[in-house]
Amino acid sequence: MKRPIFSKIVLKISGEALQGRLGHGIDADVIKSVAMQIKEIHDLGVQIAVVIGGGNIFRGNVAETRGIDRVTADYMGMLATVINGMALQDALEKADVQTRVMTAIEMKEVAEPFIRRRAMRHLEKKRVIVFVGGTGNPYFTTDTTAALRAIEIGADVILKATKVDGVYSADPVKHKDAKRFKRLKYLDVIKRNLKVMDVTAISLCMDNKLPIIVFDLFKKGNIKKVVLGENIGTVVEG
């Protein structure tokens, strides 16, 4: 039996991924599928932290174009991530996986405040952590949150779950001749403006030699395949 090549991971899931075919909100079937995939790698003994977005409920950058103050809009987006995090916690605990939601914006009734040492202890006790509330600051994306939290907890890798099977030279939906990359360097991502993650997140990963693997979330079993070292998706490293 194959053994995991990573012992501690941060799984980055966009809010849009959770909306499934609904086009908005949370698709119960999608979140159940994600929870079962996380359970698969949890059962292998991997320590797991999840960073979740809120774009299925509210997008701060879109709201700004409609006249909402940018800082206010960003905080509204952070609150949307809390809703998603609670939904994922519910799905995981129904699958018998102990889970803790940790937030950068204090709200004691629904989630624990993010404290690094407490987060490390949860992981040691084989609990899955769901990080919500972004960094707690406006102007930072959940991509940056994933990079920051991964560095803080000493993760081996960021697994960026997307709707496509890796990083392409152009949008594969619009450009049929788009090329999928198997491996990329951090600087290539920045120079080519490949939109893997925002520049702040890529820079944090580059400075701390933290690899990123971009893969298709919707192909069942892919999270486990990545953790076991199978050659899928795109690897971004130094």
Q: What average pLDDT does the structure give for the chain?
A: 93
Percentage of the chain exceeding pLDDT 70? 98
- Judge whether 34 and 88 are in contact, CB under 8 Å: yes
Residue type at position 13: I
State residue 61's pLDDT score. 64
| Alpha-carbon separation of residue 130 from 77, 85, 89, 92 (angstroms) | 16, 6, 7, 10
Tell me the C-alpha distance between 7 and 52, whole Å.
20
- Judge whether 45 and 4 are in contact, CB under 8 Å: yes
| Domains of the chain with bracketed CATH | 8-237 (3.40.1160.10)
State residue 136's pLDDT score. 96
- Judge whether 119 and 49 are in contact, CB under 8 Å: yes
Tell me the C-alpha distance between 74 and 58, whole Å.
9
Residue 37 has pLDDT above 90, yes or no: yes
Residue 66 has pLDDT above 90, yes or no: no
pLDDT digits (tens, 9 = 90+) for 71-83: 999 999 999 999 9
Tell me the C-alpha distance between 93 and 73, whole Å.
31
Residue 1 has pLDDT above 80, yes or no: no
Radius of gyration of the chain (CA): 17
State residue 64's pLDDT score. 65
- Confidence class of residue 60 from pLDDT cuts 50, 70 and 90? low
| Alpha-carbon separation of residue 167 from 34, 36, 80, 160, 236 (angstroms) | 21, 25, 27, 11, 9
Tell me the C-alpha distance between 63 and 83, whole Å.
18
Render 38-95 in DSSP notation, one character per residue.
Answer: HHHHHTTT-EEEEEE--TTT--HHHHHHTT--HHHHHHHHHHHHHHHHHHHHHHHHHT
The average pLDDT across 135-153 equals 96
- Confidence class of residue 164 from pLDDT cuts 50, 70 and 90? confident
